[in-house]
Structure 1
C-alpha cells in the first residue's frame, strides 16, 4: 500500500498533467464570489486529485477549493486541496502556478505536497524533513535568507483582516531598506522559502483549514523555517495573517516592522 505522502505526490502529478495539457488553450471562466473565478482547468485538476486520493483512501474527508466538502463527514483525516493556485496567472498564459495538497489529522498537518507543474518539480514532506523531487530524484530543502527577497501577497482585503495591509510594506522605509520585495501571486512563493529561494513570505487572512496555504506551511515547518501569524502567534489556531521566514533573525525583523505599522495606525 502506498504511503500518504506518495498518494499526495501522485495526485499532485495528476493535476499537473491536466494543467500542462490545458495551458494556453481556450479558457472558460466560472464566476465565484466578487470578481474571483475558476476555469475548466481548476475543476479538471481538482477532479484528478480527488480521483487519486479517494481511490486510495476512501474513508477520508476532503475540503477542496472548487467542490467544497466531501467524503466521510466524521473522518479525522482531512485532505486540503487547492488544484490551481494562481488561476489568474494561468488564465493569462503565465506559468507561475502551484498545486497544493495537505493531509490533516486532528490538529496536525501530517503530509504535504506542492507541485510546480511547469518547472516539473514537486515539494513534499511526511512531517520530518522537506524535499524537492525532480526527475524522480529527491533532495532536501535548505532555507536561506541571504537573498533578502521577500514575497508579499497583496490580494484584495480579506474579511476581518484587522488594520494591517501587506501591500503597505512597499511604502515602509524600514522594510524597503532591509529587504527586496517581490509579488509572485501564488502560494508557490511560500514553498520557495523552504527551498532557500526566498528569505520570507507574508500575507494576511485566516489560515485554519486553508487549502491555499496549509501544504506550504507544513513544508516550511518541516524544513526548519519560522512560521507564525503577524503578531508571532500560532498560525493555524486562528491567527491573523502569516509570516514564514528562513531564519529567526529575518522573522524577528519582519515582526518588528509589522508591529510598528500597527503602532503608527493607532
Structure 2
C-alpha cells in the first residue's frame, strides 16, 4: 500500500491550489511562450508549469489517485474512484494580456461526487475551499466562512463558447433583457473565480451554458457554492449536470427564480 500524505484531502487541495498560484504569480508579466491548442485557445508556459507543480504534489501525496489536468489530460489508475480535477490557470487570455483576473482550481471527485475543492486567487492571495460540508476563504493563514449575498446585484455571465443550448438560450441575450438590466448589473470576468465570488457574497449570481460534468474549470466552484448554501442548478432549474446542462448559481432563491424566469423567456420567444 503506497504511503499517503497525512494531510486531509481538503488540506491537500488547498496546498495544491496555493502551489499553482505561486507559479502563476511568479511568472506574471514575463514573456511567456504560447502553445496553441485550437482556434482561439492556447496555453502559456505558466499554465504548464503550474499544472506540473500541482500534479507533482498530488501524485506524491496520493499516489493511488488518478488526475485529470487541463493541459495534460488524464493520468493514473483506471480502476480508482478518486480523480483529481486540475485547472492550473483559469483565465489564460486574461493572464497573457496582464490582467490579474485568474484562478487556480483543484477538486477531488470520489465516485460521482466532488468531495473537496479549492479555488485560489493568485494575486489577492486568497483560497476559497470546501471539505464538502463547510466553505471558507483563507487569507493570511486565517479562514473566514463564506456567506452568500445578493446585495451587490452583480451577475457574472459567461459569454465563451460552446453554446449547446443555442439558439434557444444564449447568455449574451441576458445582457439585453430589460428585466435583467432593471434588476441586476452584468459583469463578464472570463474566469471561474467569479463562481467562488458567489459563495463569498461578492456576486449575486453566475450563469453559463455548457455541459460541465467533471469540468476542471467548474467542479471546484460548484462544490464551493453548494457547501456555502447557494442555489445551484442547471439552466432550467434541474439538478446540475442533467438535462440541458448549463449552470445557474445564485446567492438566494429569489435571485435564482428571477434568472430562471429570464432564461425561460428566451426559450419561449424562440418557439
Above 0.5 in TM-score?
A: yes
Q: Describe the SS at the equivalent of 1:133.
A: strand
1:24 aligned residue: 29
1:185 aligned residue: 190
Q: Describe the SS at the equivalent of 1:128.
A: coil
CA contact (8 A) 2:233 2:240 kept: yes
| 2:180 corresponds to 1:175 | yes
C-alpha offsets along residues 114-148 of structure 1, whole Å, 9 cap, x if unaligned? 00000010000001110000000001000000111
2:249 aligned residue: 244
Alignment partner of 2:90 out of 60, 67, 85: 85
TM-aligned CA deviation for residue 73 of structure 1: 1.4
CA contact (8 A) 2:167 2:270 kept: no
RMSD (Å) for aligned C-alpha atoms: 1.1
Residue correspondence of structure 1 range 106-255 to structure 2 within 5 A:
106-159=111-164, 161=166, 163-237=168-242, 239-255=244-260
Q: Describe the SS at the equivalent of 1:184.
A: coil
| 2:27 corresponds to 1:13 | no
- Alpha-carbon distance in 2 for matches of 1:162, 1:102: 32
Classify 1:232/1:160 alpha carbon distance in 2 versus 1 (closer, same or farther; 3 Å): closer
1:35 aligned residue: 40
Q: Describe the SS at the equivalent of 2:246.
A: strand
CA contact (8 A) 2:163 2:170 kept: no
Residue correspondence of structure 1 range 34-53 to structure 2 within 5 A:
34-53=39-58
C-alpha offsets along residues 82-116 of structure 1, whole Å, 9 cap, x if unaligned? 00000000000011100011101111110000000
- What TM-score results when the alignment is normalised by the length of structure 2? 0.96
Runs of 5+ consecutive residues of structure 1 not aligned to the other structure: none
Q: Describe the SS at the equivalent of 2:127.
A: strand
Q: Describe the SS at the equivalent of 1:113.
A: strand
Classify 1:65/1:182 alpha carbon distance in 2 versus 1 (closer, same or farther; 3 Å): same
Q: Describe the SS at the equivalent of 2:147.
A: coil
Q: Describe the SS at the equivalent of 1:5.
A: helix
